[in-house]
Amino acid sequence: MLTITQRAEQLRRAHWIFKAVVPVFCVLYPIALQSVGGLDLVHALATVVIFGFALWSDESRRLARIVFPFLLYVVVYDSMRWYADAIRSPTVHLREPYEFDKHFFGINDAAGIVTPNEWWQKRTIPFLDFVCGLAYTPFFFVGESVLLTLYLYFSGRERRAIRFAWVFVAANFIGFSFYYTYPAAPPWYVAAHGFIADFSVHASPAGAIRFDQLVGMPIMQGFYGKSADVFGAIPSLHVVYPFLAMFYGWVLPKFRAPAVAYWLLVCFSAVYLNHHYMLDIIIGLSLASVTMAAFRTLLGPIEQDEQSQQSSSNALAA
Q: Which pLDDT score is estimated for 314?
A: 47
Q: Which of 48-57, 232-241, 276-285 has the lowest mean pLDDT?
A: 48-57
Q: How far apart are CA 220 and CA 23, in angstroms?
A: 35
Do 104 and 244 have their domain in common? yes
DSSP state of 202: P
Do 40 and 55 have their domain in common? yes
For residue 283, name the pLDDT band (cuts at 50, 70, 90).
Answer: very high
Given a cut of 60, whether residue 312 has pLDDT beyond it is no
Q: Which pLDDT score is estimated for 228?
A: 64
Query: How high does pLDDT run on average in the chain?
Result: 89
For residue 311, name the pLDDT band (cuts at 50, 70, 90).
Answer: low
Do 139 and 44 have their domain in common? no
Element holding 112 (H helix, E strand):
strand 112-114
Any domain includes 318: no
Sign of CA dihedral 154, 155, 159, 160: negative
Any domain includes 296: yes
Do 105 and 241 have their domain in common? yes
- Crossing angle for the helix pair 41-55 and 58-87, to the nearest 10 degrees: 140
Q: Which pLDDT score is estimated for 253?
A: 96
Reading phi first (left if > 0) and then psi (alpha if -120 to 50, else beta), residue 305 is in alpha
Q: Which pLDDT score is estimated for 191?
A: 96
Q: Which pLDDT score is estimated for 304?
A: 63
Q: For residue 2, give its domain range.
A: 1-87
Any domain includes 307: yes
For residue 45, name the pLDDT band (cuts at 50, 70, 90).
Answer: confident
Which residues make Cβ contacts (< 8 Å) with residue 194, sequence separation at least 6? 94
Do 132 and 68 have their domain in common? no
- Nearest Cα neighbor of 22 from 65, 74, 78, 59 is 65
The alpha helices in the chain, defined as continuous H runs, are 4-13, 16, 22-35, 41-55, 58-87, 95-105, 116-121, 126-135, 138-141, 143-154, 158-181, 187-193, 209-215, 219-224, 237-248, 253-272, 278-299, 302-317
Any domain includes 131: yes
Do 247 and 138 have their domain in common? yes
- Nearest Cα neighbor of 205 from 233, 175, 225, 187 is 225
For residue 316, name the pLDDT band (cuts at 50, 70, 90).
Answer: very low
Q: Is the pTM of this model over 0.75?
A: yes
**Among candidate residues 48, 70, 87, the one where a domain is terminated:** 87
For residue 117, name the pLDDT band (cuts at 50, 70, 90).
Answer: very high
Given a cut of 90, whether residue 153 has pLDDT beyond it is yes
Do 42 and 179 have their domain in common? no
Do 72 and 116 have their domain in common? no
Number of structural domains found in the chain? 2
What would the mean pLDDT of 237-246 be, rounded to a whole number?
Answer: 96
Do 46 and 112 have their domain in common? no
Do 154 and 83 have their domain in common? no
**Among candidate residues 44, 63, 87, the one where a domain is terminated:** 87
Do 270 and 249 have their domain in common? yes
What would the mean pLDDT of 17-42 be, rounded to a whole number?
Answer: 84
Any domain includes 317: no
Do 34 and 119 have their domain in common? no
Q: Which pLDDT score is estimated for 50?
A: 87
**Among candidate residues 61, 87, 113, the one where a domain is terminated:** 87
CA 208 to chain centre: 18
Buried residues in 12-45 as b, exposed as e (16+ CB within 10 A): eebeeebbeebeebbeebbeebeeeeebeeebee
- Nearest Cα neighbor of 184 from 286, 280, 87 is 280
